[in-house]
Amino acid sequence: MFTASTSRLALATALIAAAPPAFAAHIIGGELYYDRLEGTQYQITLTLYRDCAGTGAAFDAIGYITVFTGSGSLLQVLQVPYSGSTFIPVVLDDPCLNFPPDLCIETTSYITTVTLPPSATGYHLSYQRCCRQPSILNLFNAVDAGITCTARIPPMPEDNNSSPRFNSLPPVALCQDQTLVFDHSATDPDGDSLVYALASPYNGASQLVPYPTQSAPPPYAPVAWSSGYSENDQIDSQPPMAIDAVTGSLSVHPTSIGNYAIAVGVKEYRNGLLLSETIRDFLFSVVPCNAVVDAIIAPQTEFCTGNLTVNLTNNSAGGQLWQWNFGDPSTLADTSSAEDPSWTFPAPGTYTVSLVANPGFPCTDTALATFELYPTPVPSFLLPGPACGALDTVLTALGDFGPDAFIHWELGPNATPTQANGPQVAVVFGPNGPHPVSLAVQDHGCTGFFNATVITSPLPLPAFTLSPDPPQPMGATVLATDISSANGTTVASTFWLLDSSVVQQGGSTWTWGNAAPGEHVLTLTYVTADGCTASVSMPYAIIPEDVVIPNVFTPNGDGENDFFTITNAQYFNNSLRVYNRWGLVVLDAVNYRNQWRGTELPDGTYYYVFRLDDGREYAGHFSLLR
């Protein structure tokens, strides 16, 4: 950052090297307004402000004010002669403050009269000039930033109008860290309604053509703000600079030394219709005012320790007597007259400490400082797992922190979600661990962390084939072949099981010889080095040699022998036909599967014919008894 003296030296060097001077870095602001006179005459007033302490050029001998139609077409250029200037006194409203004496602001007004006939589009009045003071902090490349002062004359029938104009000029110099409340109201000769707001200054002209004899037509681009500044944040101020929309009261508490371009606008309305706007483009120079008495409390330097005892340091200047109030709501005895006192607060919290330097004296000063006394949160969560495969779980933040604490989870790239906010998070950790998890808890500006690792291990993908395909007859030989994938795991062991019994450990194949009849389950199990187990099972049917047909069944609902059950019928394609004693068919079934109960038939003797698809046939009789 350049100081005012270094920037002026650089500017002076540049001006000496230029022949002739291409621009004059002296403009710090201006405003343009008009008055409707008799008939179609208007008096135009252009007021400009310049830095008379710098090396920039003096006010121009001619002020060129361009008149455009409401549609932007050039109408005429008014050449207004320079009529002299005055110096603006730099004053402060506090007799106990002093500021550096090198501030100098000069102003002039170019005033002329013009005849403008009634127009359906109205008129635009414009003045452009470059360049602004190079030490302006809140504008990007301020040395190449020009100024545009403009005003609008509304079209018929509202052309019988005079624009608003500000009543007084705010102080040029503002004291750093001192609040200014200024009546920035305006007067409208027609009594129209006025609305105030912060505005953006308009750019205009450039170093190449710093003194155009004709303005560019509207619309006009605002200045380019430096990073961190904007129309609503034009100056380093806490709270931000603001203007009351109704009264025009401007309040600012500047916090940083430097020069700032500022703009305030006032719009006039008539019966709800916007007629015109006057924008004052000006400069605030924030300076250290060297207060005779300056109360200063050293700011808090240790945070989040949980220590409730504060040793206060008095950095005041010019004071002899002291009055402290520690802002402890639990007692009325929280005061001291010591220069550097200490105080133990009753509980964690935010406390506002005040210091009055030279209490009771004419140039007393008061300082406030906020102390935030909170411990660093110590968060944690219960670590789940380890888990085999994906882990679907809920993590809960634990610890001593308030309900308004901000809680953030970083769950790792292989988790869903990868991050979340809040005291609880439902998360699925993928099978490919480990998963680093970070929990951050911010409470009252203090942040605590807890880091842990969730372990999940991938599972192998067991699979095998069987040859020949089931079903097979009793005594068949079956070959099981392992076609599994380790899936990135380290396999510790494998097992072959038949009907839940281990029949072989390891091996890429297993041979099952002399298979017994029945419905069997073959299983291949993998065990990894992490202790994770994965299995796959397949059913396999061995068909018995023969079927057994009962000679009696009792469908009485007692749960025993309630169905006409042909043992091993399920292993064959078959047909069953049952006759009563008169030869009538009472059951005709294909691929009978022991589902018949005969509930619709009376007790007695019945006859059957049971045929298998291999050609075997069984005939006989049975008794149905209840």
Check if the beta carbon of residue 593 is closer than 8 Å to that of residue 547. no
Per-residue confidence (pLDDT) for residue 56, from 0 to 100:
64
Q: Give the CATH H-level superfamily of domain 464-543.
A: Immunoglobulins (2.60.40.10)
Domain chopping of the chain, boundaries: 4-287, 309-373, 387-446, 464-543, 552-624
Q: What is the pLDDT at residue 92?
A: 64
- Segments of 230-329 assigned E as strands: 242-243, 249-252, 258-270, 273-287, 309-311, 322-325
Extract the residue ranges of the chain whose pLDDT is less than 70.
Answer: 1-25, 54-56, 91-102, 290-291
Is 552-624 the same fold as 464-543? yes
- Which residue reads 């005291």 in tokens? 423
pLDDT given at position 101:
61
SS3 13: helix
**Region 552-624: CATH code:** 2.60.40
Q: If you compute the radius of gyration of the chain from its CA atoms, what whole number of angstroms results? A: 48
Q: Which amino acid does the sequence have at 571?
A: Y
Write out the E strands in 54-104: 62-69, 74-81, 86-88
Tokens of 331: 């007692």
Residue 453 to residue 470: CA distance in whole angstroms: 47
The number of CA neighbours under 13 Å toward the Cβ of 198 is: 16
User: In this structure, which CATH number among 3.90.380.10, 2.60.40.10, 3.40.50.150, 2.30.30.30 belongs to the domain 309-373?
Assistant: 2.60.40.10
pTM of the entire predicted model: 0.47
Distances (CA, A) of 174 to 197, 220, 253, 257: 20, 29, 9, 9
Contact 542, 474 (CB under 8 A): yes
